[in-house]
Amino acid sequence: MISSDISDAPIGIFDSGIGGLTVYMAVRKLLPYENIVYLGDTARVPYGTKSADVVRQYSKTNTEFLLSKEVKVVVVACNTASASSISFLKKSFPDIPIFGVIEPTIAQLRSHSDNLSKIGVIGTNTTISSGVYQEKIGNLYPKMQILSKACPLFVPLVEEGVLENNLTFNTIDYYLSQWKAEDLDALLLGCTHYPLLIPALSHYFGESVEIIDSAKDTASHLQKILADRGVLNQSSQHGSDTIFVTDDIPLFKKTANLFMNTDGFNFFHI
């Protein structure tokens, strides 16, 4: 068990780029007094087109950087890295809690499972080809019909801030037009970039298709881990917000400010 004297140590979160900020925002909303350090590996985005071995090495480097900031937990806010790297990271860094976004999302399906008979899963090439969502959902709910589709162009759309215009809708239609006739009950977003496209996806599929993203479920899982270990920050002051990026800071801030207020954030390039 981690000693409670590090309760004010920061939470570490990393993603390939800007998409993990959806998890960041959910964590900040649920845990306002925690200090958070976020690493966006923008120089090497997207991860979803890389091999699993390469993503594991990127994930190890990212984790090592966060550990240099003396974080008390590492959240892998990237589905691609979660699919390929969690077991590897836990073995490489056994002294600190490390978890990704997949397990909390799958667990949350229990609250929906009675109403879901057909679900679509979208993600990057690496995440979808890994079969991790298909396998885990199928093991829990063998009667559920699972469709899956890699949508690699969604990540650069988000990274460029192209969230809801003709190009956005044309790209959605390019990948998912066949699903409009499938009577989906839900669409599971297997990439933390994709929640930024929820308005466009909701418009495309309509209100009858529930959209499930991982951010809130991941934040709730994090809160439970910290509480169980007795290391929730007991401060009454708002926690600090520190963001590191491996490429251009102004571009990152410009896109981030399309969906969140970064006033008061500390930005650094590494």
Per-residue pLDDT of 140-177, as tens digits, reads: 888 899 999 999 999 999 999 999 999 999 999 999 99
Check residue 196 and give its pLDDT: 93
Task: Specify the pLDDT at position 32.
Answer: 97
Cα 124 to chain centroid, rounded: 12
Burial of 125 (0-12, 13-18, 19+ CB in 10 A): middle
- Residue 199, token pair as written in the block: 């308005």
DSSP 196: G
Whether residues 156 and 92 share a domain: the answer is no
pLDDT of res. 109: 81
- Of 45, 78, 158, 176, catalytic: 78
Q: What is the pLDDT of residue 108?
A: 80
* Residue 107: per-residue pLDDT: 84
Q: Are residue 42 and residue 52 in the same domain, yes or no? A: yes
Identify whether residues 110 and 46 lie together within a single domain: no
**What pLDDT, on the 0 to 100 scale, is given for residue 140?**
85
Nearest one of 189, 233, 257 to 27, comparing CA atoms: 233
- Taking the CA of residue 109 as centre, how many other CA atoms within 13 Å lie in the half-sphere pointing to its CB? 27
Average pLDDT in the chain: 93
Tens digit of each residue's pLDDT (9 = 90 or more) over 41-69:
999 999 999 999 999 999 999 999 999 99
Let me know whether 201 and 228 are in one domain.
no
Q: Give the integer Cα–Cα distance in Å for 199 and 169.
A: 11
151 counts as catalytic: no
Separation of alpha carbons 217 and 12, rounded Å: 17
Q: Inform me whether the pLDDT recorded for 183 exceeds 50.
A: yes
Domain of 194, in residue numbers: 103-213
Mean pLDDT in residue range 214-240: 94
99 CB-near residues (< 8 Å, 6+ apart): 74, 75, 76, 86, 221, 222, 225
Q: Are residues 51 and 90 in the same domain?
A: yes
Q: How far apart are CA 246 and CA 237, in angstroms?
A: 29
| Token pair recorded at residue 101 | 């976004």
pTM score: 0.91
pLDDT band for 112, please (50, 70, 90 cuts). Answer: low
Is 243 within 8 Å of 249 (Cβ atoms)?
no
Percent of the chain exceeding pLDDT 90 equals 86
**Of 171, 195, 213, which residue constitutes the final position of a domain?**
213
78 catalytically annotated: yes
Same structural domain for residues 188 and 239? no
Options 121, 191, 219, 222, the catalytic residue? 191
**Residue 179, Cβ neighbours under 10 Å: how many?**
18
Determine the average pLDDT of the residues in 237-252. Answer: 96
| Structural domain count, the chain | 2
Is the pLDDT at 4 greater than 90, yes or no? no
Give the model's confidence band at 2: pLDDT under 50 very low, under 70 low, under 90 confident, else very high.
Answer: very low
Pair 113, 209 in one domain: yes
pLDDT of residue 218: 95
Q: Point out which residues pair with 100 in neighbouring strands.
A: 76
Residue 101 confidence (pLDDT): 96
Residue-wise burial string across 2-14, b where 16 or more C-beta atoms lie within 10 A, e elsewhere = beeeebebbbbbb
Cβ-based burial of 144 (10 A; exposed 0-12, middle 13-18, buried ≥19): middle
Q: Which of 178, 193, 213 is the last residue of a domain?
A: 213
The pLDDT, as a whole number, for residue 114 is: 66
Same domain, 82 and 160: no
Instruction: State the CATH number of the domain containing residue 172.
Output: 3.40.50.1860
Q: Compute the 3-state secondary structure of the chain and give helix, strand, coil in percent, each to the nearest 5.
A: 45, 15, 35
Please determine, for residue 3, whether its predicted confidence score (pLDDT) is greater than 60.
no
Beta strands in the chain (DSSP E): 11-15, 36-40, 73-76, 98-100, 118-123, 145-150, 186-190, 210-212, 241-245, 266-269
Same structural domain for residues 222 and 201?
no
Tell me: do 162 and 233 sit in the same domain: no
Residue 91: is its pLDDT beyond 50?
Answer: yes
Q: Is the model's pLDDT at 113 over the cut of 60?
A: no
E-strand spans in 77-176? 98-100, 118-123, 145-150
Beta bridge partners of 266: 242
At residue 209, the pLDDT reads 94
Q: Last residue of a domain, which of 191, 213, 235? A: 213
- Do 93 and 136 reside in the same domain of the chain? no
124 and 34 in a common domain: no
Which of 112-126, 132-146, 243-257 has the lowest average pLDDT? 112-126
Percent of the chain at pLDDT > 70 equals 97
Strand boundaries in 167-252, DSSP class E: 186-190, 210-212, 241-245
